[in-house]
Structure 1
Amino acid sequence: MSKQEIMYSHVEDWQASGLTQSKYCESVGINLATFSYWVVKYKNKTVEERSSSFIAIGKTSKTEGKQYEIVYPNGVKLRVETKDLGELYSLVNLV
């Protein structure tokens, strides 16, 4: 287990504990300044993960017949109206 994994695990344990950072660090024997550094890194990581501009589309999800436009790298545009996101998924992966 890497140091990052260990410290992120501690951050998650601390969040679940309801203790202050100071009390948690005291109970597990971690330097408070070091722990605070890892808390900031953990929070930045989770913010980055939530702010991703991509949305996962499941293959079996159904919609209400929306229209989509796919633009391939070579400039070809494809407009599709479908209720089946699996079909759309297949078209997107033609690249």
Structure 2
Amino acid sequence: MKIREEMTLLMEEYETSGQTQKLFSESKGIGFHKFNYWYRKLQREAAAPGGFHKIESRVPRPVRDCRAELVYPNGVVLRLDSLDPELVSRLIRLY
């Protein structure tokens, strides 16, 4: 069994155990830091499958006829045809 499969099964078991991460990882003979790494990793992946984050805007009327370009340090470029201040703020914090 691959490590990902093993850790996924352990995380499912942990969720129903009622124990703290520290106690659970010790009972399974896994280092706490390794367990916590996998826990956070699998939680992030479950929240955003495929590495994408769903962002919904709560502002009813975005500014029209405006173009903007958001460039992240890793080279990703987002081109926006209309501006929603809250959406832009969330996209900036996403990186």
With normalisation by structure 2, the TM-score equals: 0.50
Determine which structure has the larger strand proportion and give its number. 1
Structure 1 or 2, whichever has the larger Rg, is 1
TM-score normalised by length of structure 1: 0.50
